[in-house]
Structure 1
Amino acid sequence: MDVQHIEGDAITGISSMATRHVLTALAGAYERQSGQRVRIESTGGVDAARRVLAGEPFDFVVLASQALEGLAAAGRIDPGSQIGIARSRMAIAVKAGEPLPETGTETALREALLSARSIGYSTGPSGSHLLRLFERWGVAERVAPRIVQAPPGVPVGTLVARGEVALGVQQLSELIDLPGIDVTDALPPEIEATTLFSAALCAPCRRHEATRALLAFLASPEAGPAKLLHGMEPA
């Protein structure tokens, strides 16, 4: 496509931190392929949803599907435009060089968490799932003094790399590219939580056709290798 015939105005989007790396890679690939500029801001998922709810003028948003449901109910996105982008599993991080815990079974994971000096978790879906696990195991009060929630927009792995927490639990996609940590495989199947991240047009979208074309690319098989590289799976 001839870049000279593309409007100079960029398509703008906002996303949670979980999809930051893969969206950066895919936006760059789309720009090279189409000539259309794409600008995506990544922040904490709670903050991203709040800003879309407030009507900030983004063309599209990428968040966990449950968060998009709330935005659709509020009339801040076009629910008919919603499309699955990628799935992300959870993982556990330790500081680089430290022994990785045994997490192959629910029992092993439970013991690893209960014996950890401290545990970092996020404000997003992975953090909510971890807290539900603690409730299910009947240990919520026992671990309460040792759990640390990362501030919105700060990867849990950053706290691990700094030595502020011993174990970090978050989406694999948010841990895999961080320096200073080592990462386990996914959690045991019986307690795994996979989050679907989807995209949708925001109510203030100015360029519906161009934005829909971008979202179609993000969901296409062509985008699959980048998702796998950054710890996610095609939706």
Structure 2
Amino acid sequence: MLHPALPRKSHPLLAALLLLAAGTAHAADIHVVSSGGFAQAYKNLAPAYERASGDRLLSAWGPSMGTTSNAIPARLARGEQIDVVIMVGDALDKLMQEGRLVPGSKVVLAQSPIACAVRHGAAKPDISTIDGLRSAFLQAQTVAYSDSASGEYIERQLMNKLHIAQQMQGKAAKIPATPVGEIIARGQADFGCQQRSELMPVEGIDLVGLLPAQVQQLTEFSAALVRNARQPDAGRALLRFLAAPASAGVIEATGLQPASALPPAPKPMPSAH
């Protein structure tokens, strides 16, 4: 069941939805798969969409990349019935190029910064500076990061930018499928980083903060219609709703930066040679 419901002050959102969904003549079952970074925003928006449109959202979850069976590319490759995907923009673009998504149907929804967390009640390291972030990684006994976009960046770029790639070998681990926050909450890692929007809903952890601007990586989350979708019209109505400016406040409340209010990207810190 999708939850939680939208706050009471959602009249502009509902009004916009009534217009956006007007093109759908009959109630439809829309099969949606979302990656974790946009999952909470989608869950919070879904009840209003269902109430106003009469459509039913049949939702599933999976990473935008990786080799797990629930990853979105794997689902599409085996022909799973899906109408709409919500995922990391770069991975979506690749699927579009492969012909698995409807050309021109992509809508950019938000960008997501990377944050770090510790187990609830543990001491919070200061990661507001490059030196502080480096120290937090080095002093942690075990570090967790995801097998999706944020983890790929941490493993392949951030460790080199911080000049700690060798020191982190053996105590930093990529976590497949399971949210990093859950690993920290269980005590299986004492420090970890992932999309802020994926960490915020997890109980048993405390957010430490965002990566410093010089090494921050903003990840785009987008949505598109799957080729051969059984409900193309209803799927397009859902895409219009998710991307509507009226949805921005709900999206922002989950730790994402809505596409309608994105700041300029920070100047990246050069990688070590």
Identify whether the pair has TM-score above 0.5, normalized to the shorter chain: yes
Matching residue of 1:25: 44
Summarize the Cα distance change of 1:44–1:22 in structure 2 as closer, same or farther, 3 Å threshold.
Answer: same
Percent identity between the aligned chains? 35
* Offset from partner CA, 1:45-99 (integer Å, 9 cap, x none): 2211221233322111111011011101211001300000121111001000111
1:39 Cα deviation from its structure 2 partner: 1.7
In structure 2, the partner of 1:97 is: 121
3-state secondary structure, aligned to 1:121: strand
Gaps of 5+ in 2: 1-17, 19-23, 66-70, 260-273
Count the aligned residue pairs: 233
For 2:160, give the aligned amino acid.
E
- Does the 8 A contact of 2:115 with 2:196 survive in 1? yes
Instruction: Tell me if 1:128 matches 2:152.
Output: yes
Alpha-carbon distance in structure 1 between the residues aligned to 2:141 and 2:98: 41
Instruction: Give, in whole Å, the separation in 1 of the partners of 2:122 and 2:163.
Output: 28
8 Å CA contact retained: 2:27, 2:53: no
Give the 3-state SS of the residue equivalent to 2:122 in structure 1.
Answer: coil
User: Could you list the per-position Cα deviations for residues 91-116 of structure 1 after superposition, in whole angstroms to 9, with x for gaps in the alignment?
Assistant: 00100011111011112111111111
CA-based RMSD of the aligned residues comes to 1.9
The equivalent of 1:178 in structure 2 is: 202
1:35 aligns with 2:15: no
TM-superposed deviation, 1:137: 3.1
Alignment of 1:164-203 (within 5 A): 164-203=188-227
Please tell me whether residue 227 in structure 1 is matched to residue 251 in structure 2.
yes
Deviation at 1:8, TM superposition (A): 4.5
CA contact (8 A) 1:10 1:36 kept: yes
* TM-score of the superposed pair, with normalisation by structure 1: 0.93
2:81 paired with 1:57: yes
What does residue range 76-155 of structure 1 map to in structure 2 within 5 Å?
76-131=100-155, 132-152=157-177, 154-155=178-179
Structure 1 unaligned segments of length 5 or more: list them. none
Three-state SS of the structure 2 residue aligned to 1:79 is: coil
Compared CA separation, residues 158 and 150, structure 1 to 2 (3 A): same
For 2:53, give the aligned amino acid: S
Q: What SS does the corresponding residue of 2:236 show, helix, strand or coil?
A: helix
What secondary structure sits across from 1:107 in the alignment? helix
Q: Which amino acid aligns with 1:29?
A: A
How far is the alpha carbon of 1:138 from its aligned partner? 3.2
Amino acid at match of 2:208: T
Q: Distance in 2 between matches of 1:211 and 1:195?
A: 23
Contact 1:84 1:198 in 2 (8 A): yes
